[in-house]
Amino acid sequence: MKKITKLTLIILSLSLIFAMTSCAKEEKVQEADENLVILVTDERGLGNGGINDICWEGAEKAKDDFGINPYCISSTSPEGYMQALKQAVSMEPLLIIAVSDKFEPALMDVATAYKEQRFAIVGAGEIGDNVAGITFNDQEAAFLVGIASAMTTKTNTVGFIGGERSAEQDRYEYGFDAGVTAAKKGTYVSKNYIGTFTDGAEAKKVAVAQNALGADIVYAPIQEAYIGVLEAASEKKINVIGSGNDFADKSENILCVTVRKSDTAVYDIIKKVASGKFDGKDINYGLKQGGIEISNEAGKLSADVMKEVEKYSELIKAGSIIVPYDWQTNFEYQATLK
């Protein structure tokens, strides 16, 4: 009898562990659900207003429009990404969507092992024939807030704070710098990287230092560490440019926000699967595709600034301006200004 009791306790413990790896807003699901779409998130899960929640909103909208059954699995740590993906595969869904380029290494292996399974990943591309990569021209939105910054600064000095150096961070930095230069030559851009996306204290320290050098506007697309920049902004009366939907309404110091429409991207890829048109091809969203934008919801950008932002937005959509996103395209862009 004692052995049976111990076995029962072990089974219950394992059940609790499984439950903890599922997202807070999961939908009830049955085995072999032919309408199942699984969202696999990193360890942040749902409920913090970040990119995972934004992508989940896209899945929820698709549920109503296409009759799919969205389900969410959250990893407990970076080491658990592959396990989470394999757990999703075992449920035989129509589609598995990995949120964040952090899943890229694990997804490459899993997608290769399960070639009949359809995958998508938000934030990365060129993974495999059965994986639709979803990427964004972040440099275009960064360019527009660079325009807004240069036209709004009273000190002719603005700041850029990056997290860990990566291709994504390059897009933000080069795009922002190019926008500032296009709007007002001679405006100084103070640039620093903090080496992380989670150290709010370090981000605050850098923002204060940039302000000491004269920066009255700071652009910091650094995920959770951004909270430190908001603290510095509150203390030093700095204007901050937000990135993503996370902090759009959480501080009076936010000048404007760059927005990725990840919910639209998730909705679109589910639509392709639901209509039988999934081809595994990568999808890129920019201003022209309506996948990114800048938000002036707080109304802090003047009418003149917004008019100039709209002018440059149309030039980018028309292909008249190719916004730089790495050192090579930046070199080519700078050559056009001479």
In the predicted structure, residue 1 carries a pLDDT above the cut 90: no
Domain positions in the chain are 2-136+263-285, 138-260+302-337
* Tens digits of residue pLDDT in 158-187: 999 999 888 889 999 999 999 999 999 899
pLDDT at position 307 over 60: yes
What is the model's pLDDT at position 136? 94
Looking at the DSSP bridge assignments, the partners of residue 210 are none
User: In a 3-state reduction of DSSP, which class is residue 297?
Assistant: coil
pLDDT at site 100 = 86
Q: How far is CA 200 from CA 106, 143, 161, 170, 227, in A?
A: 28, 25, 12, 20, 6
Q: Give the pLDDT band (50/70/90) at residue 34.
A: confident
> Could you tell me which residue, 202 or 32, shows the higher pLDDT?
202
Q: Which residues contact 262 (CB under 8 A, 6 or more apart)?
A: 51, 54, 55, 58, 99, 122, 134
Superfamily covering domain 138-260+302-337: Response regulator (3.40.50.2300)
Q: Dump pLDDT digits (tens) for 94-153.
A: 999 999 888 999 999 999 999 999 999 998 889 999 999 999 999 999 999 999 999 999
pLDDT at 245: 54
Q: Cα–Cα distance between 25 and 260 in angstroms, integer?
A: 22
What is the spatial distance between Cα 109 and Cα 113, in angstroms, rounded to a whole number? 6
Give the pLDDT confidence score for residue 219 in this predicted structure: 96
The per-residue pLDDT for 32 is 53
Runs of H (alpha helix) within the chain: 2-20, 51-66, 81-90, 104-113, 138-152, 167-183, 200-212, 226-236, 262-274, 303-317, 327-337
pLDDT at 7: 45
CB 69, CB 36: distance < 8 Å: yes
Which of these, 225, 154, 221, 161, lies nearest to 190 by C-alpha position? 161
Quote the distance between the C-alpha of residue 233 and its chain's center: 23
- Residue 337 scores a pLDDT above 90: no
Over residues 42-75, the pLDDT tens digits come to: 887 888 777 888 999 999 999 989 999 999 999 8
CATH code for the structural domain at 2-136+263-285: 3.40.50.2300
Say which residues have a Cβ less than 8 Å from residue 243's Cβ, sequence separation at least 6. Answer: 172, 219, 220, 221, 222, 226, 257, 258
When mean pLDDT is compared across 5-19, 217-231, 315-329, the lowest value belongs to 5-19
Would the pLDDT of 270 be above 60?
A: yes
Fold match, 2-136+263-285 / 138-260+302-337: yes
Look-up of token digits 């707080």: 298
pLDDT value at 21 more than 50 = no
